[in-house]
Structure 1
Amino acid sequence: MEDSSRDQPAIVSVLSTYVRSHAKRPRTGTGAFKGLASDIKAALTALDKREPVHDSAPTDLRGANLQGANLQGVHLGDADLRGANLRGANLSGAELANADLRGAYLRDADLFGGTLVGADLRDADLHGTNLVAANLRGAKR
């Protein structure tokens, strides 16, 4: 998105919508989690590489099923991750300042060294989550 800063808000919106609609929670009883599809990984990589200074609205990944995703060092500050399934995700070193993680499922996720300054973690499931060296200053719980 480096070459299209004017179009970045629209691109972020399209990619976010794609991830939300294609990375849905599996129905109960449908078997073991098989990992993220390559198209979802590609969309998340593009979202991570954006220049946040050009964002006019937060990245909206509400309810997305990102279970087990490798999101190490991802830049999702101000993102809307309400109700997202991030169980077992690698979010070590992630930038999640001011992210809305209300009701997110972060059980067994790795947030080692992550930045969650001002993040909203109310009703988030943090059982087994690695928060060692994470910056939680001003986070709401």
Structure 2
Amino acid sequence: MQDSPRDQPRTVSVLSAYVRRHARVPPNGFAKEKGTLEEREEIKPSTDVQAVMNVLADRSHGHDGRAQLDWSDSDLRGLELSPWAAKELQRVKESEETPKGRVSFAFANFAGADLRYAGLYGIDLQNASFIQANLSKKPSAYRSAGLTSRTRFLFG
């Protein structure tokens, strides 16, 4: 996307569709949790879905145009996303001290998404939609996710 800002809106749309298609919440609802807590915390998106999410996190959002990050009805359990290096991220987890730099997922659509055990550190979620999304199991991950007084969680 850095090589062709003109194509970025289309690229964002295609990559978002890839995530929705390859990480779907089952038609009958969120997957039931099985196994021990440790086993459930090990659930992660597939390597290709994680890679796509990393690419979208690394984009320059100023070139998105009218494209929307749309991961509605996506199973993103265990997703780990952050613009910060591992050392900085560990500091955040231990002390909630937040480094500079955020990734913009402003206005992203997470409606109906399963985000259990996800860690979104340094992610700007202003005006993102979380209608009927499952955000349980890792509340500390959302404290440093760029939530501000302008963040609106829309739950349905």
Provide TM-score, normalisation by structure 2: 0.70
Structure 2 residue 17 is matched with structure 1 residue 17? yes
Aligned pair count reads 124
The aligned residue for residue 6 of structure 1 is: 6
* Identity rate, percent: 35
Q: Does the 8 Å contact 1:23/1:65 carry over to 2?
A: yes
Q: 1:102 to 1:30 in 2, by over 3 A?
A: closer
Q: 1:8 to 1:36 in 2, by over 3 A?
A: same
Structure 2 residue 104 is matched with structure 1 residue 75? yes
Q: Which moved more, 1:77-86 or 1:28-37?
A: 28-37
Say which structure, 1 or 2, has more relative contact order (CA 8 Å, 6+ apart).
2
The aligned residue for residue 43 of structure 1 is: 52
Q: 1:116 to 1:12 in 2, by over 3 A?
A: same
Q: Which moved more, 1:99-108 or 1:14-23?
A: 99-108
The aligned residue for residue 132 of structure 1 is: none
Q: CA-to-partner distance for each residue in 1:71-116, whole Å, 9 max, x for gaps?
A: 2345311111111111110112221111111221110231132223
Select the structure that is richer in strand.
Answer: 2
Select the structure that is richer in helix.
Answer: 2
Structure 2 residue 136 is matched with structure 1 residue 107? yes
Query: Once superposed, what is the RMSD of the aligned Cα atoms?
Result: 2.2
Structure 2 residue 45 is matched with structure 1 residue 52? no
Q: Does the 8 Å contact 1:99/1:116 carry over to 2?
A: no
Structure 2: 5+ residue runs without aligned partners? Answer: 84-102
Q: Highest CA radius of gyration, 1 or 2? A: 2
Structure 1: 5+ residue runs without aligned partners? Answer: 125-141
Q: Does the 8 Å contact 1:85/1:105 carry over to 2?
A: yes
Amino acid at match of 1:22: H
